[in-house]
Copies of this chain bind each other. A is one copy, B any other.
Amino acid sequence: MREAVTLSDVAREAGVSPSTVSRVINGTARVAASKREAVLRAIERLHYRPNILAKGLAQGRSLTIGVITQEISSPYYGEMLKGVEQALEGTTYHPIFASGHWRVDQEEAALKVLVSRQVDGLIVMDGSVPEERLQELAHTMPVVVVGRKIPGLQCLGIDNRQGAYEGVQHLIELGHRRIAHIAGPTSHPDAIERLEGYRAALEDAHIPFDPALVVVGDYMEQSGLLAVEALLARGALFTAIFAANDQMAYGANVALYRRGIRVPHDVSLVGFDDLPSSSYFTPPLTTVRQPGPAMGWEAARLILALLEGRDYTPKPLSTQLVVRESTALIRSSGALAAHLLT
């Protein structure tokens, strides 16, 4: 393990004081051309790399942005993290991630880790730590919240209700009237909003809401599969499904496939999120796009602005219906019960 080259090594090599080296590195003050040259050459010669930690300690900041996600391997968070990473690229800041696994205690632990590591700002994606906890943290550092609405904090998010509304409306326009909904966990505000959007779209089309057509899932593929099986088992009649996220739509699709029910021939399917894999799904999934990378990007830019005391108005984040091949015009009404016979 080789000894690290420090700033004073460079100073000695260049025949100047450490302060001067610091100045040429950071451009904090003007330095005579000749000395600057000498310093740069010394840096080159010694392969000097500044120690960001020491810099951070001296400046009272870490040049690090903490990001709390729920599950780093989830494609949904992956997209947002990518956006954060991109936004921070080229700045002196770097993200550091910690996962809450949808559990308050783990989220709290993740928060503690990030605080101990002196993050300069915090991006919180979803989760369920108490509002007060985040508000309290916001006294210490800039905090931006994605996917939750917390009074007094900078919040970023999409209009879930509107997105769901459009997804369902699309099905209605295709002639569907018996539309099942695989909802997200009732503990998630976004799941509730999507359910509201679903109901609103039905209502506006004068289609009565049928509770038997709604099954609650947990946003994971498996629960989508189970939901369809439950629907089928209880003899529910439907010609379309609106899933509260793509992953549950994937699961639903498998369940339908196993029963020989074809998408979109027999049943139309709409998801929510537009994960990267959804366009390569078979059939390519019609879904309500949520701009994952943009959400991460805006959150990061906002933190950066907050950190520099600048003003920044994040671009509005809107959902967009992406029509692919998992939805089709309803067939003759006879089809409606067809799969019940299966």
Contacts and interface: CB of A to CB of B under 8 A. Distances in A.
A62 to B, nearest CB: 6
B116 A49 contact: yes
Contact of A75 (B71, B85, B257, B277): B277
A133 interface: no
A278 to B, nearest CB: 10
Contacts of A251: 280
B57 A54 contact: yes
A340 interface: no
Interface string A147-168: 0000000000000000000000
A118 interface: yes
Nearest to A60: B4
Contacts of A98: 94
A73 B75 contact: yes
A333 B220 CA distance: 41
A103 B81 CA distance: 19
A189 interface: no
A6 B93 CA distance: 24
A282 interface: yes
A78 B74 contact: yes
Interface of A: 1-2, 4, 49-54, 56-57, 62, 71-75, 78-79, 81-82, 85, 94-99, 112-113, 115-118, 139-141, 221, 224-225, 247, 250-251, 253-254, 257, 263, 276-277, 279-284, 293
Given A2-B140, A250-B277, A281-B281, 15 more contacts: A2-B139, A4-B140, A50-B116, A51-B116, A52-B117, A53-B53, A53-B62, A72-B85, A74-B78, A85-B99, A94-B96, A221-B279, A254-B280, A254-B282, A254-B284
Chain A to chain B: the 7 pairs with minimum beta-carbon distance, closest first: A73-B78, A73-B82, A250-B280, A221-B280, A257-B282, A52-B116, A52-B117
15 contacts: A1-B141, A2-B140, A4-B140, A52-B118, A53-B62, A73-B75, A75-B75, A94-B113, A95-B97, A221-B276, A251-B280, A254-B280, A254-B281, A277-B277, A282-B282
